[in-house]
């Protein structure tokens, strides 16, 4: 496609053409209407003047006969810019007037005619062209004929002026319009081309590219800004995806290798049914762990992509705190941890009950794992406190333990997928508990923060009371 | 089939058939397009004493299910010719109330809700363990008998009154927390049947997520210490690799 062809194909240029055509047609219509009306108006004026003169002259004839008429016509014909007059006998012999060279037979019919003529004074001057006039022939009683008319040149001149003005202005409109259209189109096209160029590099895999923003705040800028936001989101998602696949590769391959090795070993050196059975049971156990990890990953992916936004309902966060506390209390007790729930006032919340329960359960589960591992140095039994409280327009679900806590430098990392801080490598679990809790919090427009409980870890899920704010519907 | 030779007449998981004297033979229909999976299920169900048939697409499945000879249908969610949910919908529209368990690779809570709303009676995400599937199918088959409507549940000399919320074993009254009461109630409603941890979590706690640690085990051992302690005959049994069962072992 040539550059010009591309230009002509743009929406802007097509719009320009449409507007141009409409405007030119309108201008032509307007000027044509104006020209025709002017002409009609002048014709009417001529008719009126001629009629008045004929009435006046025939009155003169009635009062003073042909003699008086000739005198009056003579006097009038001599005035500068006068009308055209001619008085003839029945035979056509001119008695008075300022007109000659009328086509033969003009005087034979009474009434209006448009005719060519020459003025008497011009005949002597030489080769003047014929003029046009609108004349009326009137039969006077007594066989005389009276012709009165007005020159039409003025009318034609005016008509022509208007017409040529019209032609010129339409030509100018078209030329200027086309030029303007091309100019605007090229400007727009240049910016769109720049955008296309950037988009292409982005499509080639450079997700860091951003569309140029001219800074004029116009619709193209708004479009570019929105697309840039979209690109940012895509880049973040891609980064997340890459991280996930890296981590899957790393953390899932380990148990898969273990599973494979054990099966292989059982096959190679299994001596009896008991050993085979043990190996098979082990395999099932390992694969259950893998399935659990996959499920957690899927859950996180769903929560992060916002798919779980359906199923939102109103419920009491304090009730969730009590339920989860109740679910984990025997487990904590078994490990010698005192699990307490402090959530006495109803704290209504809008969200996905199941996911928030799971997030809180993960935090409690996490705390139970680590709170117990603490040395009873000061003799006090380890404890965990689950709280639900409202703070401004937010609902806080907190789990505070007296375990070893997480050093401040590691807290951000602990929320990431698959990250298990060193001391936790020995503990069971997918390492996805905190990541899932964090994803659930973000799904609801809130956040998960880890803080120092002095001593211990305090995990806080902060959620907006009214549920997530929908972006763009 | 060579693939299953290593099962060798044994249950795939370490449960033994003798553990369940209450088992009655069920007629089951497995509607699953993956022939390997279908064959595996049919074989496994037959090994534990049930009668099982397989259909490999939605139309065949519907035709066979309409015969009405089955106690429970096991329906894969995504089937050729007729989707699993549509199949259940068509059955229900014809007035067939055969319980249906949906098997699906879609395991999220909202998929589950969709499945149950479409007329399914239970929902099990893939991959599942056979013992989980078996336990759920047996519960579904039994549900038709309508045991859930009784007001006093009895297992051996253990008695649970659902109206007064009182529990007795022999002469002595047992005090239970509300959740322990519901746990025992659910177990007793399904006395003689295996109840898995997931089933307990779903039905007693109404959670459909995986709590990572086996919190249910601790609840069970608490309950066990309340109802079985001091009695020579335990009622609450752990079924290895599957779950729990309450049953009167003296019978």
Average pLDDT on B20-29 reads 72
pLDDT of A124 reads 60
pLDDT of residue A34: 85
Q: Is the dihedral of CA A352, A354, A356, A359 positive or negative?
A: negative
Contact of B12 with B49, CB cutoff 8 Å: no
Predicted complex ipTM exceeds 0.85: no
Q: What pLDDT is stored for residue A386 in this prediction?
A: 92
CA distance B207 to chain A (A): 7
The reply to whether B116 touches chain A by the CB within 8 Å rule is no
Burial (Cβ within 10 Å: 0-12, 13-18, ≥19) of residue A80: exposed
Tell whether the model's pLDDT for residue B98 goes beyond 70: yes
How confident is the model at residue B8, as a pLDDT?
Answer: 37
Give the CA distances from residue A184 to residues A10, A35, A174, A178, in Å, rounded to whole numbers and listed in that order: 11, 34, 15, 10
The larger pLDDT score, comparing residue B103 to residue A253, is at B103
Closest listed residue to residue B42, CA positions, set B18, B15, B16, B7:
B7
Whether residues B212 and A327 touch (CB distance < 8 A) is answered with: no
The pLDDT assigned to B210 comes to: 76
Number of neighbours of residue A76 by Cβ within 10 angstroms: 18
Instruction: Check residues B183 and B240 and name the one with the higher pLDDT.
Output: B183
So what's the pLDDT on residue A214?
Answer: 79
Q: Which among A459, A304, A437 has a CA at the least distance from the CA of A385?
A: A459
Test the A interface: residue of B4, B126, B181, B212 with most A CBs within 10 Å: B212
Residues 417-446 of A with CB under 8 A from B: 428-430, 433
For residue B154, the model assigns a pLDDT of 86
pLDDT band at B144 (very low <50, low <70, confident <90, very high): low
pLDDT of residue A360: 92
Cβ–Cβ contact B5 with A under 8 A: no
Inter-chain CB proximity A311 and B13 less than 8 Å: no
Q: Do A292 and B205 touch (CB under 8 A)?
A: no
Concatenated DSSP letters of A150-176: EE-HHHHHHHHHHHHHHHHHHHHHHHH
Residue tagged 């996911």 (tokens): A355
pLDDT at B13 over 50: no
For residue B184, pLDDT over 90 is answered with yes
The minimum CA-CA distance between A246 and chain B, rounded to whole Å, is 23
Q: What pLDDT does residue B142 have? A: 79
Average pLDDT of B234-239?
A: 89
Average pLDDT of every residue of chain B: 81
DSSP H or E stretch at residue B139? helix B130-143
Select from A292, A311, A334 the Cβ nearest to the Cβ of B110.
Answer: A311
Element (H, E) at A340: strand A338-342
Residue pair A435/A416 in contact by the 8 Å Cβ criterion = yes
* Chain B partners within 8 Å of A362 (Cβ): 212
Which residue is associated with the tokens 């038709």? Answer: B144
Q: Does A295 touch chain B (CB under 8 A)?
A: yes
Q: Please, which pLDDT band fits residue B181 given cuts at 50, 70 and 90? A: very high
pLDDT at A470: 52
Q: Is A306 on the interface with B (CB under 8 A)?
A: no
A365 contacts B212? CB cut-off 8 A:
yes
How far is the alpha carbon of A20 from chain B, nearest alpha carbon, in Å?
Answer: 57
Contact across the interface for A365 and B110, Cβ inside 8 Å = no
Model confidence at B10, pLDDT cuts 50, 70, 90, reads very low
CA angle A270, A273, A276 (to 5 degrees): 50
- The answer to whether the beta carbons of residues B151 and B190 sit under 8 Å apart is no
At residue B238, does pLDDT exceed 50? yes
Placement of tokens 């998960």 in the chain: A448
What six digits make up the tokens of A121?
Answer: 């004074």
pTM: 0.63
pLDDT reading at B251 higher than 70: no
Q: What percent of chain B has pLDDT over 90?
A: 18
| Per-residue pLDDT in tens (0 to 9) along chain A, 473 residues | 577 777 777 787 888 888 888 888 888 888 888 888 888 888 899 899 999 988 998 888 888 888 888 888 888 888 887 888 888 888 778 888 888 777 777 777 788 888 888 877 776 655 666 788 888 888 888 888 888 888 888 788 888 888 888 888 888 888 988 888 888 888 888 888 888 888 888 888 777 778 888 778 788 888 888 888 888 888 887 887 777 677 677 667 777 888 888 888 888 887 788 888 888 888 888 888 888 777 777 777 777 776 666 678 888 999 999 999 999 998 888 888 888 899 888 888 888 888 889 899 989 988 888 776 555 445 667 888 999 988 888 889 999 888 777 777 777 666 665 554 444 444 555 567 888 888 888 888 888 888 887 778 888 999 988 777 654 33
Within 8 A of B125 by CB-CB distance, chain A residues are 295
Element (H, E) at A189: helix A153-203
* Strands ordered across the beta sheet of B51-55: B51-55, B27-31, B72-76, B100-104, B122-125
Which residues in B lie closer than 8 A to residue A280 (C-beta atoms)?
6
| Nearest C-alpha in B relative to A431 | B212
């Amino acid at each position: 496609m040539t550059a010009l062809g591309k230009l002509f194909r743009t929406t802007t240029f097509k719009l320009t053409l449409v507007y141009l055509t409409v405007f030119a047609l309108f201008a032509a219509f307007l000027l044509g209407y104006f020209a025709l009306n002017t002409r009609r108006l002048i014709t009417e004026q001529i008719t009126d003047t001629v009629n008045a003169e004929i009435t006046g002259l025939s009155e003169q004839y009635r009062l003073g006969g042909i003699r008086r008429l000739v005198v009056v016509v003579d006097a009038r014909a001599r005035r500068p810019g006068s009308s055209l007059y001619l008085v003839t006998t029945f035979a056509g012999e001119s008695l008075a007037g300022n007109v000659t060279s009328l086509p033969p037979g003009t005087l034979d019919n009474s009434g209006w005619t448009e005719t060519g003529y020459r003025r008497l004074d011009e005949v002597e001057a030489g080769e003047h062209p014929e003029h046009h006039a609108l004349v009326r022939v009137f039969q006077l009683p007594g066989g005389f004929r009276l012709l009165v008319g007005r020159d039409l040149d003025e009318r034609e001149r005016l008509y022509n002026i208007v017409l040529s003005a019209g032609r010129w202005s339409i030509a100018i409109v078209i030329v200027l319009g086309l030029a303007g259209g091309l100019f605007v189109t090229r400007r727009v096209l240049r910016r769109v081309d720049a955008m296309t160029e950037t988009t292409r590099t982005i499509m080639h895999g450079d997700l860091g590219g951003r569309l140029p923003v001219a800074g004029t705040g116009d619709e193209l800028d708004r479009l570019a800004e929105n697309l840039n936001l979209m690109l940012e989101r895509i880049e973040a998602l891609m980064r997340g995806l890459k991280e996930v696949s890296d981590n899957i590769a790393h953390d899932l391959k380990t148990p898969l290798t273990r599973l494979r090795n054990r099966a292989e070993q059982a096959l190679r050196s299994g001596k009896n049914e008991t050993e085979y059975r043990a190996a098979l049971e082990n395999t099932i156990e390992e694969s259950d762990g893998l399935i659990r990890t996959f499920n957690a990953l899927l859950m996180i992916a769903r929560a992060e992509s916002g798919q779980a936004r359906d199923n939102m309902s109103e419920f009491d966060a304090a009730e969730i705190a009590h339920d989860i506390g109740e679910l984990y209390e025997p487990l904590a007790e078994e490990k010698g941890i005192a699990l307490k729930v402090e959530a006495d006032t109803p704290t209504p919340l809008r969200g996905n009950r199941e996911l928030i329960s799971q997030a809180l359960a993960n935090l409690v589960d996490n705390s139970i794992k680590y709170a117990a591992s603490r040395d009873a140095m000061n003799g006090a039994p380890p404890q965990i406190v689950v709280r639900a409280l409202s703070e401004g327009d937010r609902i806080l679900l907190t789990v505070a333990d007296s375990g070893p806590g997480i050093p401040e430098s590691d807290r951000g990392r602990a929320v990431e997928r698959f990250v298990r801080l060193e001391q936790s490598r020995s503990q069971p679990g997918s390492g996805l508990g905190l990541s899932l809790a964090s994803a659930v919090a973000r799904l609801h427009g809130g956040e998960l923060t880890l803080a120092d409980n002095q001593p211990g870890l305090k995990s806080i899920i902060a959620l907006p009371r009214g549920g997530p704010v929908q972006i763009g519907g | 089939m060579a693939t299953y030779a290593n099962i060798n007449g044994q249950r795939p998981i370490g449960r033994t058939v003798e553990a369940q004297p209450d088992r009655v033979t069920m007629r089951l229909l497995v509607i699953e397009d993956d022939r390997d999976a279908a064959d595996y299920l049919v074989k496994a169900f037959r090994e534990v004493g049930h009668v099982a048939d397989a259909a490999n697409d939605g139309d065949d499945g519907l035709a066979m299910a309409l015969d009405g000879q089955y106690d429970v249908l096991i329906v894969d969610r995504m089937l050729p010719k007729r989707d699993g949910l549509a199949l259940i919908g068509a059955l229900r529209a014809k007035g067939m109330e055969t319980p249906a368990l949906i098997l699906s690779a879609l395991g999220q809570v909202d998929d589950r809700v969709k499945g149950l709303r479409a007329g399914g009676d239970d929902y099990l995400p893939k991959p599942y363990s056979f013992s989980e599937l078996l336990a759920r199918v047996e519960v579904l088959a039994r549900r038709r008998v309508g045991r859930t409507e009784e007001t006093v549940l009895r297992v051996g000399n253990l008695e649970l009154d659902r109206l007064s919320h009182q529990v007795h074993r022999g002469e002595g009254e047992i005090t239970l927390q509300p959740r322990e009461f519901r746990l025992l109630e659910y177990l007793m409603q399904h006395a003689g049947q295996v109840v898995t941890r997931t089933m307990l979590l779903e039905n007693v706690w109404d959670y459909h997520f995986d709590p990572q640690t086996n919190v249910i085990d601790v609840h069970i051992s608490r309950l066990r210490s309340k109802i079985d302690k001091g009695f020579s005959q335990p009622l609450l049994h752990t079924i290895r690799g599957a779950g729990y069962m309450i049953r009167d072992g003296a019978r």
